[in-house]
Each structure stands twice: as C-alpha cells, then as structure tokens.
Amino acid sequence: MLRTVLVQTYHPYTQFTHVHPLGIMMIAALARERHPDVHILDMKVEDWTPTRCCDELERLKPDVVGLSAMTYEAGCMHEVAREIKRRMPDVIVVCGGPHPSVADEDVMRDPTVDFVVRGEGEHVFADVLDGVADGRSDWSECTGLNWRSADGAQVRNADRPPPQDLSALPFPAWDLIDHAKYHLVPRGGVIYAHKEFATMFSSRACPWRCTYCHNSYGKTFRERSAEHVLAEIDMLVTKYGVKELVFMDDIFNFRPERAKKIARGLIERNYKLALTFPNGFRGDILDEELVLLLKQAGMYRCMVAVESASPRIQKVMKKNLKIDKVRHIVDFIAKQGIMVHGAFMLGFPTETEDEMRQTIDWAASSSFHTAAFFRVIPFKGTELFTQVEHAGYALPTDWSAYEPYETDINLSTVPEREIFKLRKQAYRRFYWNPARMFKIFKLIPNKTNMLPFLTLLFARRAYAR
C-alpha cells in the first residue's frame, strides 16, 4: 500500500501565530479516499527543524512526501526536500501550496523536487498518487502539474480549473492532527475566547483585484453551502469538543444571504460557540443585519481590512474601498460590543509620507479596538510583484525576506528609516489612548491569558521593522 506523508513546512518568524494546516488537511481528505495510508506532519505546531522533521519522515518510511509552503517558508521546504532525498533517495517529493503554485519553475530547479502541484491541489495530488502507484512515467495528461521528462527537462502542464462545487469535497482530515497541540500555540488573530478551536474555510477566492493580494484561489468566488458548513461544525462540536470557530475566508460576507443562513443555523443549534473572523470582511459591503446575526451566533471579534485611508492609494492598489462606508460599519460593529480589528499597510509604490500619515490619523480616530500596521510586501504571484519587477526594483531572492512582520523591502518614496519611525508612531498613537485601552480591557475575553500576551505583542510590533 502506498504511504503518503504531507508536511506543513515552517520558517521561524517574528510574530509566531498558527492555525490548523487546512490546505494539507484537505489534500489528505481526498487523497485517502483512494490511498488510505496518509499522515500529516505540521512542523510549525511541533516547532521542528528540517532535520527533526526528516527524522520523523525516516521513521514513517513514506513512498510520497508532499511539502506545502508559503513564500517565506520556501527555504525550509527545499531543505526538507534535499535532506529526505539524501536519506531516502527513492521517495517521491511533491511540492505544493501558495509558493510552489506561483514559483513552480523556481521550485523545480531543485533536483530533489520531483513534482509541483499548482493551485488548489486536491484532485491533482490524488492523481499523482494514482500515477505513482501505477508506475507512470508520462504525466502529460495530468493538468495542474510540473514534472520532468525522461531526459530531465522540466514540463509544465496546462492549469487545472479549480473545483467549483466545494460542497462535493470531503471535510478536512481532522482525525489526522493532534488537536490538543493547537490549543497551546498563539493562533491567527491572536485573541481567543476558548483554547478548543477549529479553523474553517467556508468559501474560496475574492473577486476584487487588489494588487498586493495572493491569487491562490483565483478571482472567482466559490462557496460551500450553508448546510455543508453547518454539518462540519456539527461534527467538530460533537466529535472534537470545539468551542470556538476561526473563519479564514478571504471574504465571508461576499454572498450575504449564505452568510446569514450559516449564522441562523448556529443560532438554532445553540452551541454557544465563540466566533472570530481574523481574515476580514469587505467593509463597504458589510450590512448591519449580518453583523447582528453573527453577534447572536457568537461573534465576539472580527477584522476589517482598510489598508490605506488615501483615496489615491486605494486606486493605486486597486482595492477601491469606500472609506466612508467602512467607517460607518466599523462604528456600528463597535457599538454592538464586538471587538473589531483594523488592518493597514504602509509603503505602497509612489506612496508619500503625508499619505502614510493620513492612514495613521484615520486609524487613530476610528472605532477600531485593535489594529496592525503592516509593511507592503510584493509576494510572488501578485500583480504588485510583477509591477515592481518590471519597474526594475531589485527584489530579494532570499524568500525568507518576505516574512510578513519583519522585512527590509520598501517600495515607497519614503526613506526606510522614516517608515520605521512611522510604524512605531502608528502603534503608539493608536494604542496610547485611555478610552481605547478601557474598551479593550472591557471586551477582551480570557483576560488572564490575553492581557500579558497582548502587551508583549504590542511591544514587538511597535519596534519591529
């Protein structure tokens, strides 16, 4: 029987947070319908080095190893591939996830990588396992795959359309992870009410075309039915004792009626779950009825991504957010006693110091309870990456430089030392507000654990690059 091990790679970074590796859990769920011997290793939750991970792989003796990586984890991915090939030369190494999907040719230059699965890889990876089991040598019919021909030449097959009916896919392989380990690490979104949580995607993709945003799921919004989402929640609550749900959708509120149906389903079930949305809503299309329903269903915190308060920069980044509508809905959310987090970005191409200050002023005067001020990073595969590359900007070739909380990349006209100062000022102006601090203290759940951690996190972000 073919044995497969899927690995979530890990590059240590400044602000350590983690959620369940849903990508490889989805890959595992479909793969094991045909090849049941599937295992998951999460280097991040284990805090493993590549060497330690390969020790575990060597113990498991897989036939196929699948490695998933974000851009800043690419170095770890290649290190694991090289080391496991050194120890087990016959193992098949398949790379996938956000980075290999957009840097497939770069990844395939590593001779220890046998295949790259591009895009949403559930069906592609299952087909690879079929081919490995059958001893296939010609992979030309497998769309969505990079491979090598008999003479060693790279072959890039046509793209595979992403799955359209997400409700036809199985639930993530929740039984292949150790749930208790995820209770012990800081999670995405940082603040939590209960340690017993589960991460969820109820939809994929966002139809807006922001230049800085990933294209992992394309631009065609696809959704799971409310019934399918609620069925997974039923399973998570009854089988795994989940008390909190972390929705990671790019834009949960794109189809409001579906979102409201999920909320009403949770209200009817009366599980008393805590809900949080750390990836954000699109603020200028978020309606008050949905906010009220989600609050009744258990939402205690959400995020609204603003990025910039400058109308010109909104056009530059192609987000084109209606800032006045965002301010109104943020005020409304805050009035409901729901913690609302704002996400902002500093350092877009052509952005001036005055425009950065405009964003900081807007954030400081807003009703957001918490906020983060990120540096603009041109991840490979984004329109922004292509823009700055074509403009002749010398982008780093070390992928670890694209770590989201600490980077030297500066695309703006503002000197690096000034952006560093502006980010520190942004955090200080935002948080050194007695009224805001009182509201945070009043609303924050799990105060005993959260307050010391958040104080440390603020100090790190206020002084990070």
Q: What angle do CA 90, 94, 100 make, to 5 degrees?
A: 145
Q: Six-digit token pair at 118? A: 């591009």
pLDDT confidence band for 14 (50 / 70 / 90): low
Q: Distance (Å, rounded) from C-alpha 17 to C-alpha 200?
A: 16
Say if residue 217's pLDDT is above 90: no
Say if CB 177 and CB 199 are below 8 A apart.
no
pLDDT in the model for residue 218: 80
CA distance 250 to 293: 20
- Domain 186-463: CATH class, spelled out: alpha beta
Give the pLDDT confidence score for residue 390 in this predicted structure.
82
- Does residue 456 have a pLDDT over 70? no
- So what's the pLDDT on residue 426? 96
pLDDT of residue 72: 87
Predicted confidence at residue 83, as pLDDT, reads 98
Q: How confident is the model at residue 385 (pLDDT cuts 50, 70, 90)?
A: confident
Task: Average the pLDDT over 13-29 and give the result.
Answer: 85
Q: pLDDT category, 199, cuts 50, 70, 90?
A: very high
Please tell me the least confidently modeled range out of 79-93, 258-272, 344-358, 392-406.
Answer: 392-406
Q: b/e string for 396-415 if b means 16 or more Cβ within 10 A? A: eeebbebbbbebebbbbebe
Of the candidates 78, 439, 20, the residue with the CA atom closest to the CA atom of residue 247: 20
The answer, yes or no, to whether residue 464 has pLDDT greater than 60, is no
Residue 210 has pLDDT above 70, yes or no: yes
> Between 84 and 451, where is the model more confident?
84
- The band of 462, judged by pLDDT with boundaries at 50, 70 and 90, is low
| pLDDT digits 0-9 by tens, 336-384 | 999 999 999 999 999 999 999 999 999 999 999 999 999 898 888 889 9
Domain range list for the chain: 4-150, 186-463
pLDDT score, position 15: 55
Scored b (16 or more CB within 10 A) or e, 73-83 reads bbebbbbbbbb
Cα four-point dihedral sign 91, 32, 232, 174: negative
State the average pLDDT over residues 258-277. Answer: 98
Q: For residue 311, is pLDDT > 90?
A: yes
The pLDDT of residue 189 is 67
Q: What is the predicted pLDDT for the residue at 16? A: 61
150-174 pLDDT tens trace: 898 999 999 999 999 999 999 999 9
Q: What is the predicted pLDDT for the residue at 80?
A: 98
What are the two backbone dihedrals, phi and then psi, of residue 46, each rounded to the nearest 5 degrees? -85, -15
When pLDDT is averaged across residues 112-123 and rounded to a whole number, the result is: 97
What is the model's pLDDT at position 380?
A: 85
User: What pLDDT is stored for residue 399 in this prediction?
Assistant: 75
- The mean of the pLDDT values for the chain is 92
Who's near 140: CB < 8 A, 6+ residues apart?
155, 157
Residue type, 137: S
- CATH number belonging to the domain at 4-150, selected among 2.60.220.10, 3.30.300.20, 3.40.50.280, 3.40.50.150: 3.40.50.280
Whether residue 419 is predicted with pLDDT greater than 60 in this model: the reply is yes
> What is the model's pLDDT at position 186?
76
d(C-alpha 72, C-alpha 97), whole Å: 12
Query: Which burial class, exposed, middle or buried, applies to 48 when counting CB atoms under 10 A from its CB (0-12, 13-18, 19+)?
Result: buried
| pTM for the whole structure | 0.92
